[in-house]
Amino acid sequence: MSAMDDMPTMQEQLPALRCDPSMTSDVDPRSDFPAHDGGGQIPVLDDAVHLWVLDTGADGARAVRTAARSALERLLRQYARGAAFEIETGSHGKPYAPALPWLHFNVSHAGSHVALAFARNQALGVDIEDCSRKLSVDGLAKRFFGATEATALARMAPEGRKAAFLQLWTHKEAVLKALGEGLSFGLDRVEFELGMDGQAGPMCLIASSAGRPGEWQVKRFTPAPGLTGSIAWRGPERALNLFRLPS
Q: What is the DSSP string of 95-115?
A: EE-TT-TTEEEEEEEETTEEE
| Contact of 216 with 238, CB cutoff 8 Å | no
Distance, CA of 150 to CA of 189 (rounded, Å)? 13
Q: Comparing C-alpha atoms, which of 13, 5, 105, 17 is closest to residue 64?
A: 5
pLDDT (0 to 100) of residue 246 = 84
The H-assigned helical ranges of the chain are 61-80, 137-144, 147-154, 158-179
Distance, CA of 210 to CA of 221 (rounded, Å)? 23
**Identity of residue 175:** V
CATH of domain 3-245: 3.90.470.20
Distance, CA of 87 to CA of 129 (rounded, Å)? 24
pLDDT (0 to 100) of residue 5 = 52
| pLDDT tens digit at each of 247 positions of the chain | 455 554 432 322 222 222 222 223 334 333 345 556 555 578 889 999 999 999 999 999 999 999 999 999 999 999 999 899 999 999 999 999 999 999 999 999 999 999 999 999 999 999 999 999 999 999 999 999 999 999 999 999 999 999 999 999 999 999 999 999 988 899 999 999 998 889 999 999 999 999 999 999 999 999 999 999 999 999 999 999 999 998 7
> In 10 A of CB 108, how many CB atoms?
26
Read off the pTM. Answer: 0.86
Q: Comparing C-alpha atoms, which of 105, 241, 127 is closest to residue 174?
A: 127
